[in-house]
Amino acid sequence: MDKCGAAVITTTLVFLAVAEPASAEDAVQRPRVIVTTDGEVDDRCSMNRFLLYANDWDIRGLIHSSSKHHWKGNAEHLGHKWNDVSWLDEQLAAYEAVYPQLKRHAPGYPTADELRSQVFVGNIELEGDMREATPGSNRIVDILLEEDPSRVWLQAWGGANTIARALKTIQEKYPNRVDEVSAKAKIYLITHQDNTYDTYIRKEWPDVEVLLSNYPSFGAIAYGWGKLLPPAEKKYFGRVWMRENLLTDHGPLLDLYEHKELRFRSEGDSPAFLHVINTGLRSDEHPTYGGWGGRFYQAKPHLWRSVDGKQPGPHSISRWAIDFQNDWAARADWCVKNYEQANHHPVVTLRHDQNITAPPGANIMLEAEATDPDGDTLQYRWWPYQEAGTYPAALTIENAATPRATFRVPDDVQPGQTMHLVCTVTDNGSPPLKKHRRVIVTCGPE
């Protein structure tokens, strides 16, 4: 190492790098998140899980919107399958009941009143309605115009119309802020649930980055999960597992989960927030990286579509299904159990940089260390996340089941190609929990 701790090359071409902060968990800034929802049953199920992760984000809006499936209607037009907005009030009341217990297990949980202050009614009258500004669309405007340059994740669990109305207000009233807003707004669409992306956002806001999750990507945990999930994962959504781990004796919030005979119902909108949970996979850094919310390919400038059905490789969401179901079950336990009775995530730290540049043929020492707040036994596994990188051939990591592993950059790797190497640490608690750290190796000059 040099005096600054930068990565250096030894005569044996072994790469070392500076250690990260002692607690990488604390160094991660909570992303700003705004949810728009049409109140469909799978939205309500998604919200039930979302609230258990409320400490992972800086929640800046919980906004009622419409979709082609659900709208309220008005004096001239009948509504369609609309569920009264009071459903969210009911969930927040149940969250309030378990909040004292949740905050014993992890810092950062907002109070129920803090979440209530983020609830707004957006454009709900008609499908694709963006005619007038609403309290919900104005809330999005206010957040996007804040001086804070950090990203704002705009999640469309229903239609994109309230988001579109907010952008239209900015375009009309603050045209000098369009470039600034385009740089910070990140839209995650669960398919096209109205036409406002195609008719307005794509045309008038071409520089806003949009992630579009299409079927069968989000479908793996939507209504068709029983047909899309492999057998090994399907049991984690079935009646026995759901009853034992979530739907029995887990408090008033889980009591509201709308199941079908105690089985998983549908959470087709959950990928929008699974994408920004701090798993350590860095999935929110770039659409191609992949994580719990899926992986994406670039379809057009600033438009990314889910890879499933378009590119080879494992299903980008269901590959994590057992992990995120166990993780959800652990948080459900937090609602009713004391700290020493429940399981908590390992804390994993890299002993070197998370981004490394190395030439062909170089040997890279990979090292992680982990602690477990419950004193559980930990298992390490280094593995190449093959599809996330741009080097196409298979990769090998030596001593992959230890904290310290070795990776040799292939001789035929081309300058600029990337290889994604992940350290997954699993505890032996009940349910078992995982944390990850991703290292991205980019081929540089010799």
Domain boundaries, the chain: 8-24+345-443, 31-334
How confident is the model at residue 189, as a pLDDT?
98
Residue 311's pLDDT band (cuts 50, 70, 90): confident
Main-chain dihedrals φ then ψ at residue 287, nearest 5 degrees: -60, -25
Determine whether domain 8-24+345-443 maps to CATH 2.60.40.10.
yes
How confident is the model at residue 15, as a pLDDT?
52
Question: Could you report the per-residue pLDDT of 93-151, keeping only the tens digit for each?
Answer: 999 999 999 999 999 999 999 999 999 999 999 999 999 999 999 999 999 999 999 99
Nearest to 316 by CA among 286, 295, 288: 295
Tell me how far apart the alpha carbons of residues 446 and 444 are, in angstroms, rounded to a whole number: 7
The CATH-assigned architecture of domain 31-334 is Alpha-Beta Complex (3.90)
Nearest to 228 by CA among 328, 327, 314: 314
Main-chain dihedrals φ then ψ at residue 314, nearest 5 degrees: -60, 155
Question: Could you report the per-residue pLDDT of 321-352, keeping only the tens digit for each?
Answer: 999 999 999 999 999 999 999 999 999 999 99
Residue 67's pLDDT band (cuts 50, 70, 90): very high
How confident is the model at residue 370, as a pLDDT?
98
Tell me how far apart the alpha carbons of residues 158 and 38 are, in angstroms, rounded to a whole number: 5
What's the gap between Cα 337 and its chain centre?
26
How confident is the model at residue 380, as a pLDDT?
98
Q: Does position 1 have pLDDT exceeding 50, yes or no?
A: no
Q: Does position 20 have pLDDT exceeding 90, yes or no?
A: no
Tell me how far apart the alpha carbons of residues 376 and 27 are, in angstroms, rounded to a whole number: 24
Q: Does position 425 have pLDDT exceeding 50, yes or no?
A: yes
Q: Does position 69 have pLDDT exceeding 70, yes or no?
A: yes
Question: What tokens appear for 199 in the block?
Answer: 């008719």
Mean pLDDT of 244-258: 97
Residue 261's pLDDT band (cuts 50, 70, 90): confident
Mean pLDDT of 161-186: 98
Tell me how far apart the alpha carbons of residues 380 and 348 are, in angstroms, rounded to a whole number: 10
Question: Could you report the per-residue pLDDT of 276-310, keeping only the tens digit for each?
Answer: 999 999 999 999 999 999 999 999 999 999 999 88
Give the predicted TM-score (pTM) of the model. 0.94
How confident is the model at residue 260, as a pLDDT?
85
Q: Does position 186 have pLDDT exceeding 90, yes or no?
A: yes
How confident is the model at residue 185, as a pLDDT?
98
How confident is the model at residue 446, as a pLDDT?
67
| Average pLDDT of the chain, as a whole number | 94
Supply the angle between the helices 41-52 and 86-102 in degrees, to the nearest 10.
20
Query: Across the beta sheet with 418-427, what order do the strands follow?
Result: 355-358, 434-443, 418-427, 378-384
Main-chain dihedrals φ then ψ at residue 366, nearest 5 degrees: -105, 130
* Residue whose entry in the numeric block shows the structure tokens 């469309």: 156
